[in-house]
Amino acid sequence: MDTENLKTAAGSTDITDYGNKDRAPLPITMQAMVMDAAGQSLVSKMLPLPVPNEEQVLVRVIACGVCRTDLHIIDSELARPKLPLILGHEIIGTVEKTGTKVTSLKQGDLIGIPWLGYTCGHCPYCLKDQENLCENALFTGYTIDGGYAEYTVAFQKYCFRLEPSYDNASAAPLLCAGLIGYRSYQMVGTAAKKIGFYGFGAAAHILIQIARFQGKEIYAFTRDGDLEAQSFATRLGAVWSGNSTDSPPVKLDAAIIFAPAGELVPKALKDVDKGCPVICGGIHMSDVPSFPYQLLWEERSVRSVANLTRKDGDDFFGLLSSVKIKTETRLFPLKQANEALAAVRNGDVEGAAVLIM
């Protein structure tokens, strides 16, 4: 136990201020898995409960998904994280306390906390309805603390209020794999029918369910020889699955690359038809190798997806009221966050890894 943190907690946290009369008082400290520095394992610590500011809520975390982005942060592929940092941006939890200016949420609400944690509202991108590109954005589990902990705080306007049926670990992957995956999926356009998914993990296994509901054909590409992932894709309704180096049986109307492998860009361009897009859905990718202009010719395009907007979340959760999504999850206790990250890194998870508190 971290006695220094306990001292801080006792000095800075007024527990009489927490909770209302008919709820159990909140603890003074919480368990958290902390990244002290990039390239190192997370360290289990007892920390003082975070204190919400006037626009924030204090949230008891029920579950938090483990995203590949968390690995990119640990591996220094994303620059300048907050340090020390509590990772995690696929958070399901309940509101325990509200800041003095919080009006949209109340104690007891079930909420989801996504990657986009805050935007400024006045930069050129916010003013153009592109808050996903905000110059002053804060990101959950990257530039502000996230959900690899028993409690966290979040700005009220960036939380999604959820139906009670989402009160479980299987909902956690919807917050990033589902939501940012859905932003990628929307970028292929409604006319695309034959869609390639490159990398069949957390995002693809959610999106294939939406795509099938909408009558699309999904072609699933996995790491070469990953027969388990290929049969997983087939089980979820892919019309074809194979190695990322294989050619699909038809020309595709669109490709979405979920795997962080730059060599998939020219490969996907080869697989799509004239005039069709290749969408890069990840926040980080290894270098894209040079390729002949011929692959891009005939109005093929390559586009990346960055972050999410609150509207994406509203659209996505709105859609889920008519599409029943079943996520596949492998659960880990909070203290096994390092094991969960290793499993994601090694491709040992069918669907998504989720920490439970």
Site of interaction with Zn ion (CB under 5 A) = 67, 69, 119-120, 123, 126, 134, 176
Pairing mode, strands 110-113 and 160-161: antiparallel
CA-CA distance, 155 to 98, in Å (whole number)? Answer: 10
Compute how many other C-beta atoms are within 10 angstroms of the C-beta atom of residue 351.
21
As measured in angstroms, the least distance from the Cβ of 78 to Zn ion is 11
Task: Identify whether the C-beta of residue 329 lies closer than 8 Å to the C-beta of residue 172.
Answer: yes
Which is nearer to Zn ion, 147 or 248 (by Cβ)?
147
Measured from the CB atom, the residue of 126 and 265 that comes closer to Zn ion is: 126
CB of 198 to Zn ion, least distance (A): 17
Minimum CB–partner distance for residue 136 and Zn ion (Å):
5
For 129-167, the DSSP string reads: T-GGG-TT-EEBTTTB--SSBSEEEEEGGG-EE--GGG-
| Residue among 31, 41, 115, 33 nearest 71 (CA) | 41
CB of 69 to Zn ion, least distance (A): 4
Closest approach, Cβ 350 to Zn ion, in A, equals: 18
Question: Judged by CB, which is closer to Zn ion: 116, or 252?
Answer: 116
**CB count in 10 Å sphere of residue 238:** 24
Nearer to Zn ion, 68 or 216 (CB): 68
In three-state secondary structure terms, 292 is coil
Name the minimum Å distance from CB 274 to Zn ion.
Answer: 32
Q: What is the number of residues in the chain?
A: 357
Nearer to Zn ion, 198 or 240 (CB): 198
* Residue 279 host element (H or E): strand 277-280
Site of tokens 């709105």: 318
Q: Which residue's CB is nearer to Zn ion, number 142 or number 166?
A: 142
Q: Minimum CB separation from Zn ion for residue 162, in Å?
A: 17
Q: For residues 234 and 340, give the distance between their C-alpha atoms in angstroms, rounded to a whole number.
A: 25
Of 275, 198, 278, nearest to 240 by C-alpha is 198
Choose between 115 and 219: whose C-beta lies nearer to Zn ion.
Answer: 115
With beta carbons less than 8 A apart as the criterion, state whether 161 and 109 touch.
yes
What tokens were used for 204?
């693809």
| Min CB(302)–Zn ion separation in Å | 21
Instruction: Report the nearest approach of Zn ion to the CB of residue 346 (Å).
Output: 18
Q: What is the DSSP secondary structure assignment for residue 170, as one 8-state letter?
A: G
Q: Which of residues 119 and 156 has its CB atom nearest to Zn ion in the complex?
A: 119
Closer residue to Zn ion (CB): 72 or 194:
72
| Beta carbons within 10 angstroms of residue 289's beta carbon | 10
The backbone region for 182, taken as left when phi is positive above 0, alpha when psi lies in -120 to 50, beta otherwise, is alpha
CB 68 within 8 A of CB 88: no
Q: Cα(123)–Cα(132) distance, rounded to whole angstroms? A: 11
